Amino acid sequence: MLKIENVHKWFGSLHVLKGISMEVARGEVVVVIGRSGSGKSTILRCVNGLEPIQQGRILVDGELVEAHSRHVRKIREEVGFVFQSFNLFPYYTAQENVSLALKIVKKVPPDQARGIAEQMLGRVGLSDKLAAYPDQLSGGQQQRVAIARALAMSPKLMLFDEVTSALDPELVGEVLKVMQDLAEGGMTMVVVTHEMGFARAVADRVLFVHEGQIAEEGTTEQIFSAPRNENLRSFIQSIL
C-alpha cells in the first residue's frame, strides 16, 4: 500500500530524513515513535506530498508521490491525513467540515454528501454534534470531526500525525478509541504518536526513528521488551 524507498529530505542545509525506507501492507497498522525533531512527522508529511523530498521515491498504492504536481491531488484524495492541531474549518459546522471536500473535490451531490457526513460523524460518536461549529466542540470532539472528515473521502491509507498531543489528558482516550476501532476495521494506518499504550494495543509493527533514520523496527513486543538500539532503550526509559 505504501512504499518508501531511500528518501532524503533537507530543510535548507538541515538534513532531516537520511535514507528512510519502509513498507506498509494493506490493512497493516504501523506506529512510528521517536523523539521530537527526529523526523517522524516529516515522513508522514512527505507521504501525502505536503513536503517535497530531494531524493528517493514514495509510492502510494503503486503511484508515485510528487509534491506540487497536479497528480498528487488524486493521491491525496485517497490518503487521509489527521493533524496534531485538528485544522478544522472554523466557519463550517461539523457536518459541513466533513462534507465540503466530498462536494467540491469528489463532486458528490449535496444531499448525498450530507448523508455521508452524518454517517461518518456517527462512526466517531458525534451524531449529536452535526450542527456544532468547531469552537463549540472540545478538543477531543474536534479531533474526531477531523478523523470523520478524512474518512469521508474513503481513503485507502490513513496518516495520523501526533493527533492526541494537543489534547487534554482526559480527552485522549476518546480519540484513541476511534482510531482503535478503525484499525480493527482493517484500515491501513501509519500513526506517529507518543501514546505507548496505544502502540502496544494496536500496532502490527513499530518503527523507531532517530535523527532522520529508522533506527529500529519490529513487533510491539520486540520494541518494548527487547530493544536493541541504545537510543531506543534510553527513549523508552524516558517516556515510561
Partner 1 sequence: MPEIFIAFSYKDVLYLLQASLVTVALCAMAFSCGLVVALAIGLMRTARRVRVLRFVAAAYVEVFRGTPLLMQIFIAYFGLSIIGLQLPKFVAVSIPLILFTGAFMGEIVRAGIEAIPRGQWEAGWSLGMSYMQVMRWVVVPTAVRIMIPPSVGFLVQLVKGTSLAYVVGYVELTRAGYIVSQATYATMLVFTLVGLIYFGINYPLSLASQRLEARLKRHA
Residue in 209, 201, 204 with CA at minimum distance from that of residue 232 = 209
- If one asks whether residue 166 binds partner 1 (CB under 8 A), the answer comes out as no
Alpha-carbon distance of 164 to 185, in angstroms, equals 20
Window of 19-27, 71-79, 166-174, 206-214 that interacts with partner 1 by CB under 8 A: 71-79
C-alpha cell at 56: 528517493
Window of 17-25, 58-66, 68-76, 208-216 that interacts with partner 1 by CB under 8 A: 68-76
**Cα dihedral 189, 69, 116, 97 sign:** positive
Binding partner 1 (rule: CB under 8 A), the pick from 9, 76, 123, 210 is: 76
Kindly list the strands in the beta sheet with 205-210, ordered across the sheet, starting from the edge strand earlier in the chain. Answer: 79-82, 157-161, 188-192, 29-33, 205-210, 213-218
Binding partner 1 (rule: CB under 8 A), the pick from 6, 11, 64, 73 is: 73
In which element (H, E) is residue 46 found? helix 40-47
Contact criterion met (CB below 8 Å) for 91 and 102: no
Give me the least distance between CB of 13 and partner 1, in Å please. Answer: 21
**Total residues binding partner 1 (CB under 8 A):** 31
- If one asks whether residue 71 binds partner 1 (CB under 8 A), the answer comes out as no
Cβ of 72: how many Cβ atoms within 10 Å? 20
Site map (CB under 8 A) of partner 1, residues 104-143, x = contact: xxx--------------------------xxxx-------
- If one asks whether residue 50 binds partner 1 (CB under 8 A), the answer comes out as yes
**Residue ranges that bind partner 1, judged by CB under 8 A:** 48, 50, 68, 73-74, 76-77, 79-81, 83, 85, 87-92, 100-101, 104-106, 133-136, 146, 149-150, 153
